[in-house]
A and B are shown apart, each in its own frame.
Chain A
Amino acid sequence: MRIELVKRPEYSALFSALSPFIALGLTLIAGAIMFTALGKDPAEALYFYFVDPLREVWSLHELAVKAAPLILIAVGLSVCYLSNNWNIGAEGQFTIGAITGSMLPVLFPDFQNWAVLPLMIIMGMAGGAAYAAVPAYLKTRFNTNEILTSLMLVYVAQLFLDWLVRGPWRNPQGMNFPETRNFHEYAILPEVWSSSGRAHWGIVFALVAAVALWFMLSRTLAGFEVKVLGQSPRAGRFAGFSASRMVFFAFLLSGALAGLAGISEVSGAIGQLRPTISPGYGFAAIIVAFLGRLNPLGIVAAGLVLALSYLGGEAAQISIGVSDKVVRAFQGILLFFVLGCDTLIHYRIRFVGSPARQQEAAQNV
């Protein structure tokens, strides 16, 4: 048997909406098989992954805490990927944004007033954007592959953070633990409804960013420019759009949002810098961006799904003793199914029995 693709005359709106759901369904099936193989009851495991975390209000707050960085980073990446700029170094931009944003409370702990938090946020965004500007500059100036450079800079950023918290920025009163001093109260990103749980303003930033970018991408000439340059660069040049300007726009925007995610995480959820400040948000956001079909509103939903998988991983580890490492495998499988299902948007799939010449045996999906 052979699989053949038949190009649809027009893209299928049905499968465009359906494909993320098909992918999710297939991932659940794969997950059930995986849990069975691990010797767990698949129904129970999936319950702890995807239902249990949604049953309590505090837990919903945790969901928002985890979804905020994922959504912030992923909406920025959607602009990158739509314009065919492959920024895969968001994890590094997140880290640098957290570092630059933390300079005030760590280095000037006595500077305490209402201006601290806005300044931290601006500095965090500027740091993330500046770090993302490096691959953008190398791509436009030297034609260097941005995939490789942006990724290499992730390792550099993580090592830099490691050095800071073990060296010059280490808490002088911290018993030699590798961490900075705790942020003072003016440097903490406040909670949205502090009475019911931990969700901080990061989730609000994420939702605002998602709506703003959705509006830009779907309604304005700037969004049109992003899509044209991504789909056919020559047509974009013919339209008078500048590809190099777009490289900078996409990288600076996504870098700033990753930086914002970084400083929000540190000042909202953690309260100090540590050697590890992210469970791989910068990479999981790539999955979020594709699961959301590069549409900022879809990304909000996709961000919640991935955040749920992190929470579920923790819940399942506690309740049924499944390692939290399973989550990342799960996320990887999800991205595979998402990409595979997207094929259905532009192609019909035909299964052809061999010998190949049997038109009547062809099934159409």
Chain B
Amino acid sequence: MFEDILITIATAATPLLIAAIGELVVERSGVLNLGVEGMMVMGAVTGFGVALTTGSPWLGVFAAIVVGALFSLLFGFLTLTLVTNQVATGLALTLLGLGLSGMLGESFVGQPGIKMTALHIPGLTDLPFVGRLLFGQDPLFYVSILLTFGVAWFLFRTRPGLTLRSIGDNHNSAHALGINVIGIRYLAVMFGGACAGLAGAYLSLVYTPQWIENMTAGRGWIALALVVFASWRPWRVLAGAYLFGAVTIGQLHAQALGIGVPSQLLSSLPYLATVLVLVLISRNRRLTMINTPASLGRPFVPDR
């Protein structure tokens, strides 16, 4: 029973973790992409549709990653090349994603989905208590952990990671040193898009294998909040995502047990929890200022 709960928490946390890790890289490069929700929902509809037509969830995942990255390019072109307002453009990406996915997914509504099968290693998976937790989850769970590890290593242990952080801190200085600010930001934005697409595919292929319009239900925004909550540190994103997974699963269990509290009020808990953690983390202004990438959201036009 306890193991089951832990596994469901991991299932609820994984899409948040993947999307937030992608956005963390974007924001570390100094770009604020508020379109996570839109990219995620595009990933969800693509993943579902491709898996349904081809019968292969892996092709679905792959297509979702590609579509997420391509979709983020729209945002990249506007904010990086045309230097539009990042907040407004991110919102536009979300609105467009929700609209397009509703249109593309209309024929998928009500169709039975394809669920990605969980890992099974004979012997290891059957170990008591920890077996399924460590060796019996869906493959994307392991991807999310590797992704966290990889991004942490990349940002703080490698030279390109240092370059990316430097752009986020001061894009004018980076430009003066001859770093290709816009090019690297394009790559970061596309990485964020690919992660959001993957996170969306997780929703429609693992978490609830079906397509429902607006099925992301604000998870993209929660992922954005997680990045702030984590002060732009990868391992703290992981901790935050599991905290939110626990809140989500907790309220679902409470609903199932019928504890007398209306289900709608329980369903609003993850959103209220997001507001609460944002308040708790932001109240220390000094800490927020130190951690926030200094060029975050600022327009950059190189002089030539």
Residue in chain A with minimal CB distance to B32: A147
Q: Is the CB of A148 within 8 A of B225?
A: yes
The reply to whether B99 and A152 form a contact with Cβ atoms under 8 Å apart is no
Kindly identify, within residues 319 to 360 of chain A, every residue whose CB is under 8 Å from any CB belonging to chain B: 323, 325-333, 335-336, 339-340, 342-343, 347, 349
* B20-28, B59-67, B85-93, B128-136 - the one binding chain A: B85-93
Contacts of B100 in A (CB 8 A): 329, 332
Q: Which residues of B contact A329 (CB under 8 A)?
A: 96, 99-100, 102-103
Residues of B within 8 A of A328 (CB): 95, 98-99, 102-103
Are the C-beta atoms of A339 and B88 separated by less than 8 Å? yes
CA distance A336 to B95 in the complex (A): 10
CB distance from A82 to the nearest CB of B (A): 12
Q: Does A182 sit within 8 A of B, measured CB to CB?
A: no
CB neighbors of B among A111-163 (8 A): 138, 142-145, 147-149, 151-153, 155-156, 159-160, 162-163
Q: A159 contacts B267, CB within 8 Å?
A: yes
The bracket for how many chain A residues form the interface is 35 or more
A73 at the interface (CB under 8 A from B): no
- Are A326 and B265 in contact, with the CB atoms below 8 A? no
Are the C-beta atoms of A155 and B103 separated by less than 8 Å? Answer: no
Closest Cβ of chain A to B282, distance in Å, is 4
A336 touches B282 (CB 8 A): no
- The interface residues of chain B, by DSSP majority, are classed as helix
Please tell me which one of the listed residues B102, B228, B268, B304 contacts residue A155 in the complex, with CB atoms under 8 A apart: B268
With A145-B282, A148-B224, A328-B99: A155-B83 Cβ-Cβ less than 8 Å: no
- Per a CB cutoff under 8 Å, which of B91, B103, B278 touches A286? B91
Q: Whose C-beta in chain B lies nearest to the C-beta of A350?
A: B304
A4 interface residue, CB < 8 Å from B? yes
A201 to nearest B CB, angstroms?
29
Closest Cβ of chain B: how far from A168's Cβ, in Å?
9
Verify if A183 is at the interface (C-beta below 8 Å from B). no
Chain A residues with Cβ below 8 Å from B87 are: 86, 147
Is A88's CB within 8 Å of the partner chain B? yes
Q: Which residues of A contact B125 (CB under 8 A)?
A: none
Whether the pair B283, A332 counts as a contact (CB closer than 8 A) is no
Interface residues of B in 255-275 (CB under 8 A from A): 262, 264-265, 267-268, 271-272, 274-275
Residue from B92, B224, B225, B264 within 8 A of A336 (CB atoms)? B92
Tell me which residues across on chain B come within 8 A of A148, comparing CB atoms.
Answer: 221, 224-225, 228, 274-275, 278
Inter-chain contact B103/A323, CB cutoff 8 Å = yes
Nearest A residue to B84 by beta-carbon distance? Answer: A339
User: If the complex has contacts A4-B304, A148-B225, A160-B268, are A325 and B99 also in contact, measured as CB distance less than 8 A?
Assistant: yes
Q: Please report the C-alpha to C-alpha distance between residue A155 and residue B225 in the assembled complex, in whole angstroms.
A: 15
CA–CA, A292 to B211, complex, Å? 35
For the complex, what is the distance from the CA of A92 to the CA of B74, rounded to whole Å? 28
- Against A, the Cβ 8 Å flags (1 = close, 0 = not) of B189-223 are 00000000000000000000000010001100100
Inter-chain contact A156/B34, CB cutoff 8 Å = no
A3, A143, A166: which contacts B283 (Cβ < 8 A)?
A143
**With A148-B225, A156-B271, A162-B264 in contact, do A332 and B103 touch (Cβ < 8 Å)?**
no
B103 touching A145, Cβ below 8 Å: no
List residues of chain B with CB within 8 A of the CB of A167: 262
Are B264 and A163 interface neighbours, CB within 8 A? yes
Separation in Å of the A152 CB from the closest CB of chain B?
Answer: 4
B279 to A155, Cβ gap below 8 A? no
- Give the distance to chain B from A9, nearest Cβ to Cβ, in Å: 14
**By the criterion CB–CB under 8 Å, are B82 and A290 in contact?**
no
Contact of A335 with B96 at beta-carbon distance under 8 Å, contacts A156-B272, A343-B84 already known: yes
Quick check: B275 and A149 within 8 Å, CB to CB? yes
Chain B residues lying within 8 Å of A326, measured Cβ to Cβ, are: 103
What residue of chain B has the Cβ atom nearest to residue A88's Cβ? B91
- Interchain CB contact (< 8 A) of A342 among B84, B102, B271, B285: B84
List the B side residues contacting A155 at CB < 8 Å: 217-218, 268, 271
Evaluate whether A152 and B274 lie within 8 angstroms (CB atoms) in the complex, with A328-B103, A336-B74 already known. Answer: yes
Query: Which residues of chain A have C-beta atoms less than 8 A from B264's C-beta?
Result: 159-160, 162-163, 166
Whole-angstrom CA separation of A349 from B78 in the bound complex: 13
Partner of B78, one of A142, A330, A340: A340
Residues of B contacting A342 in the complex (Cβ-Cβ under 8 angstroms): 84
Q: A5-B82, A339-B89 given as contacts; is B99 within 8 A of A156 (CB)?
A: no
A-B contact pairs, 6 of them (CB 8 A): A3-B82, A153-B275, A160-B268, A323-B106, A325-B99, A336-B74
* Besides the known contacts A163-B264, A328-B103, 7 further A-B residue pairs in the complex with CB atoms under 8 A apart: A149-B275, A290-B88, A328-B99, A329-B102, A331-B95, A332-B96, A340-B78
- List the interface of chain A (C-beta within 8 A of B): 3-5, 7, 81, 86, 88, 138, 142-145, 147-149, 151-153, 155-156, 159-160, 162-163, 166-167, 283, 286-287, 290, 323, 325-333, 335-336, 339-340, 342-343, 347, 349
Closest 5 pairs (CB-CB, A-B): A332-B96, A328-B99, A163-B264, A329-B99, A335-B92
Interface of B toward A, CB cutoff 8 Å: 34, 74, 78, 81-85, 87-89, 91-93, 95-100, 102-103, 106, 213, 217-218, 221, 224-225, 228, 262, 264-265, 267-268, 271-272, 274-275, 278-279, 282-283, 285, 288, 301, 304
